[in-house]
Amino acid sequence: MNIFEFNENSSVVVEEFMGSKIYYIDNFLKNPGNVVNFLHKTPTELHHPCVIPSHFKDRNGSDFLDERHYLCINEISKLSEYLSNICGQTLTYNSNQLMTNVTKFFKTPFNDYENNYWWPHTDGGYTALIYLNKNDKTSGTNLYKLESEDEALKYQYEHSHPWRSKKHYSILKTIEPVYNRCVIFDGSKFIHGMNIENDRYFNEEYRRNIACFFRRD
C-alpha cells in the first residue's frame, strides 16, 4: 500500500496575488492519517541549515525543536512530480526524497511570539506545503513585506536569531493551515515564515507539514 497516494482529481484553486499565483488543493492525500502515523513513528533529525559562528548560540534543541525527515521513498515521486507540473518549476532535489518540517517550542523567555515573527526568509522558487495538524486555523504561513532592514536576511543564522522583530515586517497574507491542504506559493518572491501567535505548539504537539522546494530553471 502506498500511503502517499493523492487525489489527482481534486480541484486546484488558483489565487492571483500580487502578480503571482498561489495554488490550493484540499483533501490532497488520500490517507492523511496514515501519513501522520508514519511520520510520528519515523525518527527525525535536528535541522542544521548552516554553520553558526562560535560567538552565536545554536538554540535548536534548547529553546525549540526544529526537526526534519529526510527520507528516500520511491512512492512519493509521483506526488512531487505532480506538484512540479502545477507550478511549472523543477524540484531542487530528487523526486523520491521526502522532506518535512516538524517543530515545537519550549516555554522560555526566548520564544517571544507576541513581539516577533518566526524566521522570515525566502526560498529558491515555489514552495509546496501539505499541512498535517487537525483543527489548526492560525499556525499557517505568513507572507511578509519588509518594512525596514533586518540583518537576519543578510546573515541567515536561522537557529541563533530566528525570532525577528515585528517592526521590520508587515503581513501581506496569512495562509491558513487547513488539514490535508496542499498550498503552493512563490517562496522566492515572498518573504515568508510560519505563523506562531499562540502556545499550541509549546507542549507535546508538533507542528507538522510535508514540504517540496522548487527552483526557477
> Model confidence over 128-146: pLDDT tens digits?
999 999 999 999 999 999 9
pLDDT band of residue 75 (cuts 50, 70, 90) is: very high
Residues 70-95 have a mean pLDDT of: 97
**Dihedral pair phi/psi, residue 29, rounded to 5°:** -80, 140
The cell for 69 is 525527515
CA distance 154 to 123: 14
CA distance 101 to 119: 14
pLDDT band of residue 155 (cuts 50, 70, 90) is: low
CATH number among 3.40.50, 2.60.120, 3.30.70, 2.90.10, domain 13-215: 2.60.120
Residue 153 has pLDDT above 80, yes or no: no
Q: Kindly report the number of other CB atoms within 10 A of residue 164's CB atom.
A: 22
Per-residue model confidence (pLDDT) at position 156:
63
Per-residue model confidence (pLDDT) at position 56:
82
Residue 187 has pLDDT above 70, yes or no: yes
Per-residue model confidence (pLDDT) at position 151:
77
Percent of the chain with pLDDT over 70: 97
pTM over 0.75: yes
CA 71 to chain centre: 17
Q: For residue 183, list its beta bridge partners.
A: 24, 129
Cα angle, residue 173 at apex, residues 171 and 179 outer, rounded to 5°: 125
Residue with cell 486546484: 12
More confident residue, 156 or 158: 158
**β-strands 207-215, 163-165 pairing:** unpaired
